[in-house]
Structure 1
Amino acid sequence: MRIAIGSDHGGYDLKEEIKSYLSEKGLETKDFGTDNRDSCDYPDYAIEVSEAVAKGDYDKGILICGTGIGISISANKVPGIRCALVGDCFSAKATRQHNDSNVLALGGRVLGTGLALEIVDIWLSTEFEGGRHQNRINKITEIEKKYSK
C-alpha cells in the first residue's frame, strides 16, 4: 500500500510520528510536506495529497493540521476524495466500512500520538463493505459531478 501524507505546521510533529510508525510497519509513504514547524497554509498540502490519491498515484492519504478541520475541508474539494476527520477508533472503522474514505484527517493539537497511531492502524486495515453503502458513495459522486461543471 502506498500512502501520501502531508501536514501544515500544526500537524508537523504528529506527521513525523506517523511516518516513522508506517515505515516500521513496512508501508511506503511519500511526504508532501511541510518540512518544519514554520507557519504555513494547510490547503497547499491538502491539495497535493488529495490530487495524488484521486489520480491513483497513492492508495490512501493522511493529512494533519492543528484540528484536522481545515485540512479535511480542503481535501474534500478535490473530486474523488472522501476525506474523514477522525478522532476516535469507532469512527476510523466506520468511515472505511461505510464511506470508503480514501483520505484520513487528524488533529495534531487534538490527539495524542498513541490514539492517533491506533486510528491510523484501524483506518488502514478496515475494508469497505460495499453493498448498501455503495449506493450512497454513488450519490456522493453524482453530487461532485453536478458541482464540478
Structure 2
Amino acid sequence: MKDAMAAYLTERGYQVTDLSATDGEDYPDVAERVARGVARGEHERAVLVCGTGIGMAIAANKVPGIRAAQIPDSYSAERARKSNDAQIACFGSRTMGVEAALVCLEHWLVSDFAGGGSAPKVEKIKQVESRNLTSPGVPTA
C-alpha cells in the first residue's frame, strides 16, 4: 500500500519523502518522527501506513500540534480535513485494499479545512491539548 500511495502521489506532482522504519524501529517511532516533521513545518501533510492505521494515529497524536486521523473510508477522509483539519492521514494495509485506500487518499488530498462551525471545535481540541499533552505531571492510569 505504501508504495502504491507513493507512486500515486508522485504521479500527481506531490513531493514524497519516504520516512519508513529503519532497523530496530517500530511504528510509534515512525509516527513520532513524521508528526514532529509536520509540527515543525517541514511537511505540510503526511500519510502513515500500518496494519490498521490506528496505532499510527494514536502515536502521531501524542505530538503537540498534530491532528492525525485513521481513515477507514472516503467520507471520513474528507471530514478529517474539512471538519478536523487533520494534517496526517493514517491508513490500514490490513483493513482496506489499495484501490480503496487511493480513493480515500484523493478525498483527503483535495479537501481543505472548511472553518465555519468546525473552527471553534478545532480550537477546543487545541485547548485540550495545551492543558494535557504539554503539561508535566499529568496523572497516569
Provide the TM-score with structure 1 as the length reference: 0.86
Q: Could you tell me the percent identity over the aligned residues?
A: 39
Larger strand fraction of residues: 1
Match of 1:143 in 2: 128
Match of 2:48 in 1: 63
Poorly superposed stretches of 4+, deviation over 4 Å: none
**Superimposed CA distance per residue, residues 82-112 of structure 1 (whole angstroms, 9 cap, x where no aligned partner):** 1010110111111111001110000011110
Secondary structure class of the residue paired with 1:63: strand
5+ residue gaps, structure 1, are 1-13
> What is the alpha-carbon distance in structure 1 between the residues aligned to residue 29 and residue 2 of structure 2?
15
Provide the TM-score with structure 2 as the length reference: 0.90
Structure 2 residue identity aligned to 1:19: A
Q: Alpha carbon RMSD of aligned pairs, Å?
A: 1.4
> What is the alpha-carbon distance in structure 2 between the residues aligned to residue 39 and residue 17 of structure 1?
24
Report how far residue 40 of structure 1 moved.
4.7
**Superimposed CA distance per residue, residues 23-76 of structure 1 (whole angstroms, 9 cap, x where no aligned partner):** 1111101111136xx885110100011001111111101111101111110000
Structure 1 residue identity aligned to 2:125: I
Q: Return the index of the structure with the highest Cα Rg.
A: 2
Match of 1:49 in 2: 34
Match of 2:68 in 1: 83
Change (3 A) 1:103 1:44: same
> What is the alpha-carbon distance in structure 1 between the residues aligned to residue 21 and residue 58 of structure 2?
18
Asked if 1:128 corresponds to 2:117, the answer is no
